[in-house]
Amino acid sequence: MWGMLAHLGSALDLFLADSTKTTLVVAAIVSAVTLIWLSRNLDFSAKIRSAFMYAHVALLLFPPVFFATTLSCKQVGLCEVGLTQTLLFVIPITLILGLAFGLLIVPLLHRLRSQPESGKWQRFVNGQSDRLGLHKAPDVFIVDSGRPEAFSTGGLKPAMFISIGMLEVLTRRQIEAVLLHELGHIQEGSHALKPITWLLRALYPEPVLAPAAIVAEEERKADAFAASVQKTDVHLNRAKRKMAE
Ligand SMILES: [Zn+2]
């Protein structure tokens, strides 16, 4: 263990003595800080803000990974580098797998657990997507649950999920309002924000990212979208009240 720390110390000295390497590392850190600061600007769309956050994480991972690739047995004499390199690579690999799980696997699991709806709700969503010029209309799925609920996912193809309980308690216009709210999320790209916000929330204290403000802003935009299509927020507000009961 001590041997490993000693070789790390000398390897780090060598690494930092190289001005090209140090410049790259400093540039990565400065860019990472700039991007997280830009991502707090709610005027940018969710797509752009989430792109900033993913790039932020990638840039933060760059220095340890870069350092790991420069380690060699020859440099240190002893071959404990293998273990150090593995440890330095485990962190980025874990993060990438975690993000891929949130972005791709979670939406897939929701699809597998639900029934596709190919009737009037899918036709309604197709029509609205056409009107918006979305090149892929989201798939509508029915969740076998008595609890009124609705949500949507991104992934390879966006999807909307509405429960049997929701279809039972809402009127046609209210259901359309809920579908439009979800379509608003899909159009805005809210789904890409979720896993990265969740990850950064675990890394940073509240004020750095203000996750509550991010969620509130996405909900506000989705509500505004539904209200603008229906030209009233009455149906959406009634639907929300009924679903909260
Ligand atoms: Zn929402």
Q: How far apart are CA 4 and CA 22, in angstroms?
A: 22
Q: Using CA atoms, how far apart are residues 65 and 10, in angstroms rounded to an integer? A: 17
CA distance 47 to 202: 21
Check pLDDT > 80 for residue 8: no
Question: If you average pLDDT over residues 215-241, what whole number do you get?
Answer: 95
Edge-first strand order for the sheet with 150-153 is 115-116, 139-143, 159-163, 150-153
- Ligand 1 centre to CA of 152 (Å) is 8
Residue finishing a domain among 75, 109, 143:
109
pLDDT at 5: 66
Distance 138 CA to ligand 1 centre (A): 15
Site of tokens 């263990």 = 1
Check residue 80 and give its pLDDT: 65
Token reading at 11: 């390897």
Residue 1 above 60 pLDDT?
A: no
Q: How far is the CA of 145 from the centre of ligand 1 (A)?
A: 19
Shared domain for 149 and 73, answered yes or no, is no
pLDDT digits (tens, 9 = 90+) for 105-131: 999 999 999 999 999 999 999 999 999
Does one domain contain both 120 and 240? yes
Asked if residues 187 and 132 have their Cβ atoms less than 8 Å apart, the reply is: yes
161 lies in the same domain as 41: no
Please tell me the predicted confidence (pLDDT) of residue 69.
Answer: 84
227 shares a domain with 193: yes
**Which residue, of 109, 133, 153, is where some domain finishes?**
109
Higher pLDDT, 10 or 239: 239
172-188 and 211-230 helices cross at what angle (nearest 10)?
A: 130
Specify the CATH number for the domain of residue 223.
3.30.2010.10
- 136 and 215 assigned to the same domain: yes
What is the Å distance from ligand 1's center to 16 Cα?
A: 47
Across 18-32, b (16+ Cβ under 10 Å) vs e yields eeebeeebeebeebb
Average the pLDDT over 34-49 and give the result.
90
Residue 138's domain comprises 115-244
Write the pLDDT tens digit of every residue in 203-223. Answer: 888 778 888 888 899 999 999
If asked whether residues 131 and 222 sit together in one domain, one would say yes
Instruction: Name the pLDDT band for 79 (thresholds 50, 70, 90).
Output: low
Going by pLDDT thresholds of 50, 70 and 90, the confidence category of residue 76 is: low
Whole-model pTM: value is: 0.85
* 34 and 144 fall within a common domain: no
Residues 22 and 138 in one domain: no
Domain count, the chain: 2
Same domain for 104 and 216?
no
Paired tokens of 225? 């979208």
